[in-house]
Amino acid sequence: QSALAQPASVSGSPGQEITISCTGTSSDIGTWTLVSWYQQYPGKAPQLIIYEEIKRPSGVSDRFSGSKSVNTASLTISGLQPEDEADYYCCSYAGNGVWLFGGGTKLTVL
Partner 1 sequence: QVQLLQSGAEVKKPGSSVKVSCRASGGTFGHSAVSWVRQARGQGLEWTGTITPSLGGITNYAQTLRDRISITADRSTGTIYMQLDRLESEDTGVYYCARGGGSEGIDYWGPGSLVTVSS
Note the residues at the interface with partner 1 (CB under 8 A): 1, 3, 34-36, 38, 45-48, 51-52, 57, 89, 91, 93, 96-104
Report the residue number, 15 or 95, with the smaller CB distance to partner 1. Answer: 95
Least Cβ distance, residue 64 to partner 1 (angstroms): 15
Report the residue number, 76 or 101, with the smaller CB distance to partner 1. Answer: 101
Q: Are 84 and 20 in contact (CB under 8 A)?
A: no
Q: CA torsion sign, 59 to 92 to 24 to 45?
A: positive
Least Cβ distance, residue 48 to partner 1 (angstroms): 5
- Residue 48 to residue 103: CA distance in whole angstroms: 16
Cβ-proximal residues to 44 (8 Å cutoff; 6+ apart), any chain? none
Least Cβ distance, residue 12 to partner 1 (angstroms): 21
Is residue 83 helix, strand or coil? helix
Report the residue number, 40 or 72, with the smaller CB distance to partner 1. Answer: 40
